[in-house]
Amino acid sequence: MIDHLTIKAKDFERQAAFYEAALTPLGYAKGVEFPGAVQFAADDGSSVWVSRADGETTPMHVAFGTKDEESVKAFHAAGLAAGGTDNGEPGPRPNYGPTYYAAFVHDPEGNNIEACIH
């Protein structure tokens, strides 16, 4: 089980606002804040940190498991509204598994963020 992960950001304020909006439908809430770093925590104790990058970053893929199709749809809508770009609208992904349902959004810095159930 992952306890926490950190997403490095060249534009910290923009990325922090994106993740606050996109992760809220998945049950995350803003937690601890430090200059250049902010935590989004879930009830299960896991957390996502966004922190200011020192230099270049490499885009990554992060998938968040969630409870139902409605939260996948809400994640996708919130991510787009917060400045992300569509990388796969909510829907079944039978090539990933017979019950896999997901949506994908590129955050403002190009990371591929997914919400899924399966």
Q: How many other CB atoms are found less than 10 A from the CB of residue 96?
A: 12
Domains of the chain: 4-52+59-117 (3.10.180.10)
Q: 10 Å Cβ neighbour count for 117?
A: 14
Average pLDDT over residues 1-9: 91
pLDDT for 73 equals: 98
- pLDDT digit string, tens, across residues 92-111: 999 999 999 999 999 999 99
Look up residue 33 and give its two tokens.
């804040």
What CA–CA distance (Å, rounded) separates 51 from 36? 6
CA atoms of 21 and 96, how far apart (whole Å) = 26
Is-contact 96 115, C-beta < 8 A?
Answer: no
How far apart (Å, rounded) are the C-alpha atoms in residues 71 and 117?
Answer: 10
Helices 12-23 and 69-81 meet at what angle, rounded to 10? 150
Across the chain, mean pLDDT equals 96
